[in-house]
A and B are shown apart, each in its own frame.
Chain A
Amino acid sequence: MKELIQRLEQEALREIRAAAGGEMLEAARTKYLGRKGLLTEAFKKIGEASAEERPALGSLINEVKGRLGAALDERTRAASGGEEKAEKIDITLPGAPFRRGRIHPITKTVRDISDCFVSLGFMVVEGPEIETEHYNFEALNIPLEHPSRDAFDTFYLNSRSGTQLLRSHTSPVQARFMEKHKPPFAIIVPGRVFRPDATDATHSFMFHQVEGLVVGDRVTFADLKGVLAIFARQMFGVQTRMRFRPSFFPFTEPSAEVDISCFACARQKHLEGRRCSICGGKGWLEILGAGMVNPKVFKGVGYDPEKVTGFAFGMGVERIAMLKYGISDIRLFCENDIRFLRQF
């Protein structure tokens, strides 16, 4: 009986090794291990052996079953590999579509700007778009009928309750915030602003700004330069240089216009005398206005300018997005052509 089983195993292993493919292996599995297979039959015959032999035979059969099973499995695995080669798929067919939608480039730019300042410890604050003359102008030291208002042409609303307007800059939030909070603080204010400008490639009657304001007991112009330098490098690359040009804003003094070195010039060394299309050959790009908060603004909100100082800055989001992405026409932002939107 024992010899019979051992012979059976040898035969089976030979057969398994010789099998040409999955079908023959399956046949071998049925022949030896199936419900009516030879090993199963052998098992049934254990009863014919003597009582002493039976346990040893039983475990032998089980061992053989195990070895054959393993051999079959291994060969089946190997064989099926061969079969897949036969049923080759065209892996050049496109994958199933998983298209992610895109975030609007203005949202993206506002996020990039906000993230930078939030990481520096700034708090994000928002304010209303429908404003009063007080917050849009007077609180910011912009007198009525003064040429300094020329830069702030404004949409007015038909209103029964006093003069209401659409804010022409995000700066009104400065005064609103200061009226309700005590220094020290560092805030940025992203938001939508409106000016009745005729629309062309670089002007729109609606655009976005991010305003910043830091007030404390010893905030300096040097701090303003330091903070904006970090911002410029984070936003436009570590090579970015910055320059501050004296300027005038009614709500800051001293005031500055801030330029960054043109990243496009730096990138395209091959310009060879041709004018850089981004900066017009000047080498500098104007990106924001800034300055030390005018003491008149502090007095207006009840701060003592002898006790606190601060700086403020403001930038146009569209301009930064246009520079960053190389967008040539501001109108693209609100046309919402998906061929535009899906590039970001």
Chain B
Amino acid sequence: MRVSYNWLKEYVDIRLAPEKLAELLTMSGLTVESLQPLGADHIFEIEVTSNRPDWLSVIGIAREVAAICGSRLKLPAIVPVRSQDAKGGARIIVDDRKLCPRYTGRVIRNVKIGESPHWLKAKLEAMGLRPVNNAVDITNFCLFETGEPMHVFDLDKVAGGTIIVRRAKKGEKIFTIDGVERALDDPALVIADREKPIAIAGVMGGADTEVTASTKNILLEAAYFDPVSVRRTSRKLGISTESSYRFERKVDLDSIASSSDRATALIAELCGGAAGELFDVGEKARPEKTAHLRYERLNSLLGLHIEPPKAAAILRSLGLETKGSSRDAITAKIPSFRYDLDAETDLIEEISRIYGYDRIPQTIPVVVEQPIRVPSSIVIGDKIRDILAGFGLDEIMTYSLLGRRSLEAAGVGTGDAVEIKNPLSNEQEVMRQTLIPGMLNAVRWNINRKNKDLKLFELGKVYIKRHDGGFNEHISLSIGLAGQASAGWLEGARQESFFDVKGIAESLLAELGISDVSFRPAQSPFLSAGAAASLESEGKTIGILGQVKASVLSEFDIKEKVYVLELSADELFSRARLEKTFSEIPRYPSVVRDISLIADAAAHNEDLLSAVRAAGSPLLKEAQLIDRYIGSQIPDGKVSLTYRIEYQDPTRTLEDKDITPVHARILQELERRFGAKLR
């Protein structure tokens, strides 16, 4: 809402510089967004919250200024119009009383339409409006002054001289004053004549009945239109006007007649003519409202002490009439323009606002004992982030919404994707059911900008449409690797590989205390057939990892190898064991023996290792692969594997004679089951 400082001063004594006034307004709830000089005037741009339609007028703001500054309000005198032409000559029929509870119209004959005087044009220009002609300018002036939008029709162009307030009929159209033909349909409320709609009620007038230089007789409309109906129509047609903006927020029904009088007086003054009687159809006034305030409640909610007389004075300064008043409480009559006031809290807000939020002290509430302060999903989620960052991965964050194209490019399809009904762009059609497309988009973004050697992860929600039509939200973890795994002059460079992403997974799981996991060959729509694994835990697949398929990479326009992982973070949260228990450090040293084998290249390390572990039990403490070699030193189709085996007995120091038979048994077992030979 724009307000001119000079205009405001016509209605209230202001002894403050515009800057100081701006600050006071801001601190009482009328946030001044900007203050600009305009000639000898100043223009305030004020943000008006949706609960205060009364602030959408100069008088409304003047009333607030009077309350803040304790100065007197000087409203323009409104003299009821003396009808000079009782015949009137128009009919008003309100078909839909629900959408139009009050409609007034007044005929003014023999007006002279022309340019407005300078003072009027200057006021409208200060408000950012283009002057049109005296009659139209007067309605706009009154809209800003009183907050009541009004409209003038060229009565001679209103078919049958009859105004019908009704809903639009299917297929009806109207040329609005902005020169656009608009299709109307049922719920829209229109002002019609005998033949057709001549205005969209509360939104915009029609071009056919527009008041022009040749207009002789006019009909002045002032009405109350249903806020929801105006809002719907304005949204549907995509037109928001000064008028619709005010009707949507409720205009003061009780003061419609006086606003009409004000406009009529100005028309008589500037356009001449003879005004007729006011046709006033519908509700004349809303029932009187009162609200009750207990002083104790006021002070206990705010945490301060305001003296009752002070509180009552603030209410009166805002135009509330204080009625019953006792030592403990007060009853206030709510003025008709304050639709937002109903209950005790509303009065408390008014008092605190004018009293000043800055005068409310600062205290600390009594803290409540809440044993669990942070849910485990957040604790473990943060732990996962810290672990992965510790491994050198950067955290990314991608949009929960994406285009169908991204999901299809990743080969996952959109069958179980949650669909957005009203996306703004084709990048927001569905919700992600996997973090992989977002990860690949992030990889592409970086590679296209020559950012090399990517180690990325994301922890975020995915959304799945269930068979029953409901939706699930899960937390998922993704990792993406591309480029070099390690670089630097000390060791030389090495490219990322399947085993880097697997290593990260293994270490992460170990850090989280999750031990019962295994990797199985797997299939995935976005992973290469030969380099894809699933992560199994307690008989459940909790994740997938591997090298991204060439076809998927080309869909994402990525020319490097990319390794990804996606894991159900919810499964990690439920399996993580972060509490530690100490176990005794062995008293007796362990003995380490290596075993080097030649085995079939097709043999799976995991199978060999479990055979080693089984055969070495119970002395075997740990066994791990420390070297793997395929090449000229060994026959084709064979692989050389070296396992390091650690033996230990918690009760004594092991000797050669204890280990040799176990070691031999392991070898025998590997030979028997896998045909592996000692190298």
The reply to whether chain A is a binding partner of chain B is yes
Identify which of A26-34, A56-64, A94-102 touches chain B. A94-102
Question: How far, in angstroms, from A166 to B399 measured CA to CA in the complex?
Answer: 13
In contact, B389 and A254 (Cβ under 8 angstroms): no
| Residue of B372, B395, B451 contacting most chain A CB atoms (<10 Å) | B395
Instruction: Determine how close the nearest CB of chain A comes to the CB of B486; give it in whole angstroms.
Output: 8
* CB contact between A295 and one of B227, B345, B362, B488 (< 8 Å): that residue: B345
Question: How far, in angstroms, from A223 to B348 measured CA to CA in the complex?
Answer: 16
Identify which of A11-19, A80-88, A148-156, A261-269 touches chain B. A148-156
Instruction: Determine how close the nearest CB of chain A comes to the CB of B141; give it in whole angstroms.
Output: 24
Q: Which residues of B contact A70 (CB under 8 A)?
A: none
Does A244 reach chain B (CB closer than 8 Å)? Answer: yes
Q: Which residues of A contact B50 (CB under 8 A)?
A: 146-148, 150-151, 248
* CB contact between B445 and one of A101, A111, A218, A336 (< 8 Å): that residue: A336
Instruction: Determine how close the nearest CB of chain B comes to the CB of A210; give it in whole angstroms.
Output: 12
Does A312 reach chain B (CB closer than 8 Å)? Answer: no
The contact string, 1 if C-beta is below 8 Å from chain B, for chain A 223-246, is 101110110000000000001111
In contact, B377 and A126 (Cβ under 8 angstroms): yes
Identify which of B265-273, B416-424, B627-635, B663-671 touches chain A. B416-424
Instruction: Determine how close the nearest CB of chain A comes to the CB of B542; give it in whole angstroms.
Output: 21
Instruction: Determine how close the nearest CB of chain A comes to the CB of B380; give it in whole angstroms.
Output: 13
Does B323 reach chain A (CB closer than 8 Å)? Answer: no
Identify which of A40-48, A114-122, A172-180, A271-279 touches chain B. A114-122
Q: Which residues of A contact B228 (CB under 8 A)?
A: 144-146
Q: How many residues of B contact A (CB 8 A)?
A: 91
Given A96-B490, A338-B454, also A254-B396 (CB < 8 A): no
Please report which residues of chain A, range 283-313, place their CB below 8 angstroms from some CB of chain B when the two chains form the complex: 292, 294-295, 309
The contact string, 1 if C-beta is below 8 Å from chain B, for chain A 209-231, is 00000101011111101110110
The contact string, 1 if C-beta is below 8 Å from chain A, for chain B 475-490, is 0000000000011111
Does B449 reach chain A (CB closer than 8 Å)? Answer: yes
Q: How many residues of A contact B (CB 8 A)?
A: 88
In contact, B232 and A145 (Cβ under 8 angstroms): yes
In contact, A245 and B26 (Cβ under 8 angstroms): yes
In contact, A220 and B363 (Cβ under 8 angstroms): yes
Q: Is the interface of A mostly helix, strand, loop or mixed?
A: mixed
Identify which of B130-138, B327-335, B351-359 touches chain A. B351-359
Q: Which residues of A contact B399 (CB under 8 A)?
A: 205-206, 334
Q: Which residues of A contact B423 (CB under 8 A)?
A: 155, 196
Instruction: Determine how close the nearest CB of chain A comes to the CB of B506; give it in whole angstroms.
Output: 17
Does B248 reach chain A (CB closer than 8 Å)? Answer: yes
In contact, A222 and B363 (Cβ under 8 angstroms): yes
Given A156-B421, A194-B401, also A107-B385 (CB < 8 A): yes
Instruction: Determine how close the nearest CB of chain A comes to the CB of B33; give it in whole angstroms.
Output: 10
In contact, B473 and A245 (Cβ under 8 angstroms): no
Question: How far, in angstroms, from A114 to B26 measured CA to CA in the complex?
Answer: 30
In contact, A148 and B51 (Cβ under 8 angstroms): yes
Instruction: Determine how close the nearest CB of chain A comes to the CB of B446; give it in whole angstroms.
Output: 6
In contact, B451 and A339 (Cβ under 8 angstroms): yes
| Residue of B343, B396, B486 contacting most chain A CB atoms (<10 Å) | B396
Given A147-B249, A255-B349, also A292-B490 (CB < 8 A): no
In contact, B397 and A106 (Cβ under 8 angstroms): yes
Q: Which residues of A contact B167 (CB under 8 A)?
A: none
Question: How far, in angstroms, from A218 to B232 measured CA to CA in the complex?
Answer: 42
In contact, A185 and B358 (Cβ under 8 angstroms): no
The contact string, 1 if C-beta is below 8 Å from chain A, for chain B 610-653, is 00000000000000000000000000000000000000000000
What would be 10 A-B contacts, judged by CB atoms less than 8 Å apart? Answer: A101-B390, A130-B471, A186-B368, A220-B300, A222-B361, A227-B364, A246-B349, A292-B301, A336-B396, A337-B446
Beyond known contacts A123-B373, A206-B400: 8 more, CB 8 A cutoff: A103-B395, A118-B374, A145-B231, A158-B419, A225-B361, A226-B362, A248-B29, A257-B31
